[in-house]
Structure 1
Amino acid sequence: MRKAERLFQIIQILRRSSHPVTSAQLADELEVARRTIYRDIAHLIGQRVPIEGEAGFGYVLDPRYDMPPLMLTPEEIEAVLLGVQMVAKLGDPAITNAAKDVLAKIASAIPGDLLPFIAEPAVGLKPGEITNGFAFDTRPLRRAIREGRKMQLDYCAVSGEVTHRIVWPVLLGYADAHSLLIAWCESKQAFRHFRTERIVNLEVLEEAIGVSKGKLRQQWLQWREVELSRSRSTP
């Protein structure tokens, strides 16, 4: 790896980390000696990159530091390509088109010498069937989650019974053969997972859920941990 690429990667590693990164961690990921990391850090600081820390403690990058976001490496481009292929296999048209738009924007912005990594990628997914579990447009679901709004839906159970619910959406999850709306159900006073292909009608309400998205998601994660513990303890 050339020095310029290594310096860029050091900044990337520090930028994605929420805690100090030691020279040993940097050296291990970049496959160089720790003394090389010390020289590189000194060089970056000399170029006025706002890195704080010291050997033995770790290094952090000032979150206000601005760097052009599309200085991509071949590995990062390959990761995006795999992501687009995975999204396409989900069979959700809106998400698939959005992923393709991202790839097109990247292709229009990166240097010409990186274009072959998109046109002739070194990675790829095994061909397979596309999921067909999307009977309705998922965009209202995702909008409600982003905006923290309640949703009103009619849901058809396995038995065929249709129930009317008001829910607080947390996450739209995708699996191999279906997708799930994870939400707090007002009528059940508990978190529930709703198969999207069983949602008969859906309306995003103007009413906010009244809880921050972060807090609601944290409560769901705690609930999920309890449920997983129960399932593991069940003989």
Structure 2
Amino acid sequence: MDRYERVLTLHRALKAARYPVPMAQLLDELGCSRATLYRDIAFLRDALGAPVENSGGDAAAFSYSEADGERFELPGLWMNSDELAALLALNELMGRAGPGVLAGALAPLRTRIEQLLSDRSSGRALPIERIRVVAWGERRLDQVVFRQVAGAVLGRHQLRFGYRARTTNTSTQRWISPQRLTHYRDNWYLDAWDHDREALRSFAVDRIKDPVVLEKPAIDVAEADLDDLLASSYGIFAGKPKAWATIRFSEHAARWVSDEHWHSQQKGQWLPDGRYELQLPYSNARELLMDVLKYGPDAEIVAPLSLREELKIQLQLALSGYR
């Protein structure tokens, strides 16, 4: 552990402690000698202004003063190696946006992160190219539209915009109270209260055109109500669950599916023959069927019968295109 990490560990130990921390405990946590510990404490107190107090005596213990310890934080941004590695991954996630929606807004932050990544005592920049992020199915997003929508969500203002739904390919004018932005499968969605339809709806942000932020304050819907309607069923499509799907996966596919998170209420179990059975609630079958179809012969819908028959029809239609 280098000095940077020792000082950070020392600060966190003293910050979290309700009582003075014995020297023996600090030596164990920092993995250093008594002399090194005293040097680090002196640096923390004299160079960084930490309100360190020493109880003295043979059984020395250290703490932050009761008056100032609660308010004191290390100046700047301090992270250990693990946290810095996580920041490195975040840096690549932001970089993945490229010329897209977040790149312009986050450019100053990304520059600061890159400086932090090379500001360690060694002075050597960490190998950013060793972390690779690959987007899949990401749709083009208008940067200006995204910022206006995000601003309305955070500022709690109502919105008007044009919307062309993919399902019907028709354009409509919508008047909504934005509730939250949801990032799902590399794309952004707006959960909102639709004033004209008096119901909760989800909108693909990439289909929103010409948004106008209104001066009227947005109506707030309780988070529990949002989750009850928009997050209780499988996938992005809204609606309370109408049924539970039971899907059985082959022994081969089970190696992946058994570790995957499909839904917060999913139930999974291994079958005696090595297959894996997954149960989850759904409202609109469209997205669920697409996800089952990608497993081909390694997945079988067992129940309900209506969902099983719907999948059979899709398979037959797909097969007819190859005749």
What TM-score do you get using the length of structure 2 for normalisation? 0.50
Q: Tell me if 1:124 matches 2:131.
A: yes
CA distance in 1, matches of 2:80, 2:131: 17
Structure 1 pair 112/167, CA: closer, same or farther in 2 (3 Å)? same
Match of 2:156 among 148, 155, 175: 148
1:100 to 102, 107, 110: 107
Partner of 2:8: 8
Matches of 2:150 and 2:228, distance apart in 1: 22
Question: How many residues are paired up?
Answer: 205
CA distance in 2, matches of 1:107, 1:121: 9
Residue pair 2:14, 2:63 contacting (<8 A) in 1 also: no
Distance 2:13 2:190 in 1: 33
Q: Is the 8 A contact 2:87 2:113 kept in 1?
A: no
- The aligned amino acid for 1:167 is I
**Is residue 70 from structure 1 mapped to residue 77 from structure 2 by the alignment?**
yes
Larger RCO, structures 1/2 (Cα 8 Å, 6+ apart): 1
* Residues 14 and 69 (structure 1), Cα distance of their counterparts in 2 relative to 1, 3 Å cut: farther
Partner SS, residue 165 of structure 1: strand
Tell me the equivalent position of 2:92: 85
Structure 1 letter corresponding to 2:81: P
1:160 to partner: Cα distance: 1.9
Q: Rg larger in 1 or in 2?
A: 2
- CA-based RMSD: 4.1
- Higher percent of residues as helix: 1
For normalisation by structure 1, the TM-score amounts to: 0.65
Question: C-alpha distance in 1, partners of 2:115/2:4?
Answer: 23
Question: CA distance change for structure 1 residues 12 and 209 in 2, over 3 Å: closer, same or farther?
Answer: farther
**C-alpha displacement at 1:134, in angstroms?**
0.7
Conserved in 2, the CA contact under 8 Å of 1:179 and 1:195?
yes
Greater Cα offset, 132-141 or 121-130: 121-130
* Aligned mate of 1:169, from 178, 194, 199: 178
Deviates more, 1:175-184 or 1:138-147: 175-184
CA 217–5 in structure 1, closer or farther in 2 if over 3 Å, else same: same
In the alignment, structure 2 segments of 5+ residues that lack a partner are 18-24, 30-36, 38-52, 56-60, 235-239, 245-279, 283-303, 305-323
Could you say which residue in structure 2 is the equivalent of 1:189?
198
How far apart in 2 are the matches of 1:202 and 1:7? 49
| Residues 173 and 123 (structure 1), Cα distance of their counterparts in 2 relative to 1, 3 Å cut | farther
Compute the displacement of 1:92 (Å). Answer: 6.3
